[in-house]
Amino acid sequence: MTKKYAFPVEQIRRYLEPGPVVLLSSLHRKESNIMTLGWHTILEFSPSLVGCMISAGNHSFSMIRESGECVINLPTRELADTVARIGNCSGNETDKFAEFSLTPVKSKKVAAPAIDECYAHFECRLHDDVLVESYNFFIFEVVYARVQHEPLWPETLHYTGDGLFRTDGEFIDRHPLFTKVS
């Protein structure tokens, strides 16, 4: 048996974070904001549904709750310092586009701007808010997506807690083992 040690349950996110850290941009009453977000998950493929846990104490929470829209922006390794800094200041006090020299880009199907410096943009509309009151969990439908042509697999950031990020590792191709046709 492989030896393992007891681990603090409040730190398990180090191993279970569902995916890359994203920058969530929003717009409400002509005010834009950006927040760093690590708590999201794919819920369905078609329609494309994404669940996001946004703390009620976050400035973006009320903006997104009221507007029903946002853009999930996918930053890469080059934006690691910016991602960390955005996550450590409040949109109540800071224009994050200006403060971090990020370029807002007009979205195609939602009012919220995308962030030009990010690898991809996923424009979202609130699909279901049944879990917002109890768990701050928003269910969004991605209504439009834009992704850079290269690289095919960007070096995304994954938060492990305590100010530590990791990046994607080696690419492992197991396509021949997937025999189930979708």
User: What tens-digit pLDDT sequence spans the chain (182 residues)?
Assistant: 888 878 888 777 677 666 899 999 999 999 999 999 999 999 998 999 999 999 999 999 999 999 999 999 999 999 999 999 999 999 999 999 999 999 999 999 999 999 999 999 999 999 999 999 999 999 999 999 999 999 988 999 998 888 889 898 777 888 888 876 65
Q: Determine the pLDDT at residue 118.
A: 97
The CATH topology of domain 19-177 is Pnp Oxidase; Chain A (2.30.110)
Token pair listed for 155: 């070096």
**pTM (predicted TM-score):** 0.91
Specify the length of the chain in residues.
Answer: 182
- AA identity, residue 69: E
DSSP of 34-73 = EEEE--EEEEETTTTEEEEE--TTSHHHHHHHHH-EEEEE
35, 40, 44, 46 alpha-carbon torsion, rounded to 10°: 20
